A and B are shown apart, each in its own frame.
Chain A
Amino acid sequence: MQIARVIGTVVVTPKDSNLTGAKLLLIQPLTPSRAPVGKPLVAVDSVGAGVGEDVFFVRGKEASFPFHPVEMPVDAGIVGIVDSINC
């Protein structure tokens, strides 16, 4: 997983019906000191994250697991909201 900040929302007209109702957020990966690293990407949310919040996301097929048995065509998913980072 990686830490990221939610910097926006994305609305799509789903090509794939399994994407219907998906909450898509624009996220910017972060370093532990919360500096941006790498490029923003779009992730599906399953924990109720909002813009401005720091979260952590998973990449790959595992991103669809929170929606099982629906097979969402996604490769990045927010799976937790960060309370604190200690380092």
Chain B
Amino acid sequence: MLLGRVVGNVVATQKSPKFEGAKLLLVQPLTENDAPRGPVLLAVDGVGAGVNDTVLLVVEGRAAAQVLGRKLAPVDAAIVGIVDRVDVESDRPTQAR
């Protein structure tokens, strides 16, 4: 999974019926020290997240479809949790020891 920050939402009336009623949030994936990591993704919201929330993002179809609770949903990203805190215990290993 990835850490991410909700940066907005998307409204779409014409879409796959599997998205009916789903909230679509724009999420900027983040590194562990809050730096942007890759492009902004569009994810189904499974927890009622809001803009600026730090969230836990799953980026795989089967897991994301689980959040929607619908079989054969054409989805590949979903928010599965709101992050309370991240503690980075040691610095990231740079070279092999």
Count of residues in B whose CB is under 8 Å from the partner chain: 29
Looking at chain A's contact residues, the main secondary structure is mixed
Q: In the assembled complex, how far is the CB of residue B20 from the closest CB belonging to chain A, in whole angstroms?
A: 11
Count of residues in A whose CB is under 8 Å from the partner chain: 31
Assuming the contacts A1-B41, A1-B77, A86-B9, asked whether A80 and B51 have C-beta atoms less than 8 A apart, the reply is no
User: A37 within 8 Å of B by Cβ?
Assistant: yes
A58–B51 CB distance below 8 A: no
B65–A62 CB distance below 8 A: yes
User: A36-87: which have CB < 8 Å to B?
Assistant: 37-38, 46-48, 56, 58-63, 65-66, 68, 77, 79-87
